[in-house]
Amino acid sequence: MVFLKKIFLFIKRESQIFFSNFVDLCSNILFFFLSIFVFVFALGADEQLLRTVGLGIIWSLLLLSSTLSLRKFYEEDFNNGVITIIHMGGMSYELIVFFKIISHFLFVQIPFLASIPIASVFFNLPIIEVYNLILTFIIGSLILSCLGSISSSMNLLNKTNFSIGSIIVLLFSIPVIIFSVGINNSDSNFNNLINLLIGIALIFLGIAPWSSAAFIRLALRNK
């Protein structure tokens, strides 16, 4: 019971932090919409063209705008020592990372999910593609949260090269993009691709706590 209460308090604290920075989250979403506008201005307002490229644009912009806030993933907790305090309170680093990923998924990625239908209106996407987009984004954003956890824990002691974290997230999200957008190209193997995506998500849910915890321990030792 005490353990469940600890987890509940951890998530409650995360939610309080996220809602106190609500403007930050909103500006990420604003970045997403504004970059859609930029794309439309750059491509021209041809309706047929926008319908064909819309899905790819929405996915890549979702990816870019969710990497915007990655630097905050562990950095504040690491610098003011909260992560050590929680660890001393009886949670292993792996567990902290796992619930951190879950809370990032809940409080950062889910608001993007709410903005997908509005974004797809701008491109006049057919309803089946919007449905597929939402389905793949639920799975894909979990993978993105795991990747973000890995890259930001990797960069805890990195004081010079800030953009390398986003580069790593973009590099490893290539398969996610391929399978997510590929669902719409061929309707026959829909189940295969969804299963592949779920498989990648489960692999990363397994890898991310282990490797992030290793990076956090390394950073704490060398601080």
The reply on whether position 159 binds another protein by CB under 8 A is: yes
The reply on whether position 118 binds another protein by CB under 8 A is: no
Contact pick of 161, 185, 188, 191 for another protein (by CB under 8 A): 161
The reply on whether position 221 binds another protein by CB under 8 A is: yes
The span from the CA of 105 to the CA of 148, in Å, is: 11
The reply on whether position 164 binds another protein by CB under 8 A is: yes
127-154 helix and 190-221 helix, angle to the nearest 10 degrees: 20
The distance of closest approach from Cβ of residue 150 to another protein in the complex, given in angstroms and rounded to an integer, is: 8
Residues 6+ apart with CB under 8 A from 110: none
Nearer to another protein, 20 or 160 (CB): 160
The reply on whether position 177 binds another protein by CB under 8 A is: no
Judging by beta carbons within 10 Å of its beta carbon (0-12, 13-18, 19+), is residue 154 exposed, middle or buried? buried
Contact pick of 167, 192, 195, 206 for another protein (by CB under 8 A): 167
Contact pick of 11, 64, 194, 214 for another protein (by CB under 8 A): 214
**Applying CB under 8 A, which part among 47-55, 93-101, 106-114, 164-172 lies near another protein?**
164-172
The reply on whether position 73 binds another protein by CB under 8 A is: no
The reply on whether position 215 binds another protein by CB under 8 A is: yes
Contact pick of 154, 169, 197, 213 for another protein (by CB under 8 A): 154
Which residues in this chain contact another protein in the complex, by CB under 8 A?
154, 157-161, 164, 167-168, 171-172, 174, 211, 214-215, 218-219, 221-222
